[in-house]
Structure 1
Amino acid sequence: MSAGPRDRLIDSTIDLVREQGVHGTGLATLLERSRASRNSLYQHFPAGKSELVRAATMVAGERMNAVLERITAEGTARQWLDHLLNWWRKYLETTSFTAGCPVVGSALAESEPQIQAAAAQVFEEWTALLAKALTRDGIPEDRARSLAGFLLSALEGAIVQARAMKSTRPLEDIRDQLTALLPG
């Protein structure tokens, strides 16, 4: 069964924000890529593009939550860091470095406070999920929270650098540095 217009709009928005950011995601391109009509957009997202991008940010966050939960479910922090970095390396290479994290795109939408708030919420969820995994690996709770935030900041920064440099070297750099901070 094919996805309906709402799901196609969300998926297309995630893809376009990954590639072009929120402000580079034009409505005409979004409708064309999603194969949805303007009526469908306003039927599912009455407030328009801002509401759609906010919803897409939350969906992208939920999808990455599932990836993070799966990766951190077993093994040591070093092992799941390796899995996470390998996942991003494959993604960046598969897209020829043209697409990054859609949540970062949303975080940079300065003129869209509701979209930025959604990105902040997603980052908080990811940080909490990583902190929980670090705590299971024996890191005290207060340090786990700080280390999880640092890990997430390093990873997102490395993704941005990797796209600009067309190289996975930034991911390797954070692997080298974070491995020294992680147990296991």
Structure 2
Amino acid sequence: MTAGPRDRLIESAIELVREQGVHAAGLAALLERSNASRNSLYQHFPSGKSQLVEVATKTAGERLAVVMDKVTAKGTPAQWASALTDWWQRALTRSSFSTGCPIVGAALAESEPGVQAAAGAAFTDWTDRIANALCDNGLSVEQARSLAGFVISALEGAIIQSRALKSTRPLDDAQIHLTALLRSAVPDA
């Protein structure tokens, strides 16, 4: 079954934000990439591009949350760091470092408060998911929340650097240090 115009528009918005950020993902490019008409855009997203990118950000955040849930459902917290960095290394190398995290692109959209809020909600959700998994491994809520936020920050920073440098080295470094940090924070896991 082929995707309808709404789904094609969302996928195109995710891809363009991953490649170019929110502001560079223009309406013409969104319509061309999605093979959708302007009519379809306004039928499904009456507020236009801002609403589309907000929905796309929420969708991308939910998809990446599924990845985090799968990673944290097995193994030790130290192994989670390896799994998450490996996932991003594959994603970046598959695209020849031309695409990054769509949530970062959305987070930088200062003139689009709904889009930026959706990015903030995704980061909060990811942090909560990892924090809950760390609590299940014996950390206090406060420790788990702080450590989970740091894990997300380290990963996202490494993704940005890897893309800019066209190298997985920043993710390799993040993996080494996050693994050590998580082993020391949760030694019995």
Common topology (TM > 0.5): yes
Q: What is aligned with 1:74?
A: 74
Q: What is aligned with 2:118?
A: 118
Gaps of 5+ in 1: none
Q: What is aligned with 2:35?
A: 35
Q: What is aligned with 2:175?
A: 175
TM-superposed CA distance for 1:100, in Å, is 0.4
Q: Deviations over 1:50-95 (max 9, x none)?
A: 0000000000011011111111111100111111110000000000
Give the structure-1-normalised TM-score. 0.98
Q: Distance in 2 between matches of 1:61 and 1:141?
A: 23
1:83-162 to structure 2, matched below 5 A, reads 83-162=83-162
Give the structure-2-normalised TM-score. 0.95
TM-superposed CA distance for 1:43, in Å, is 0.1
Q: What is aligned with 2:18?
A: 18
The answer to whether the 8 Å contact 2:79/2:179 transfers is no
Cα RMSD over matched residues? 0.8
Q: Deviations over 1:108-161 (max 9, x none)?
A: 001111111111011100000010111112222110000000000010000000
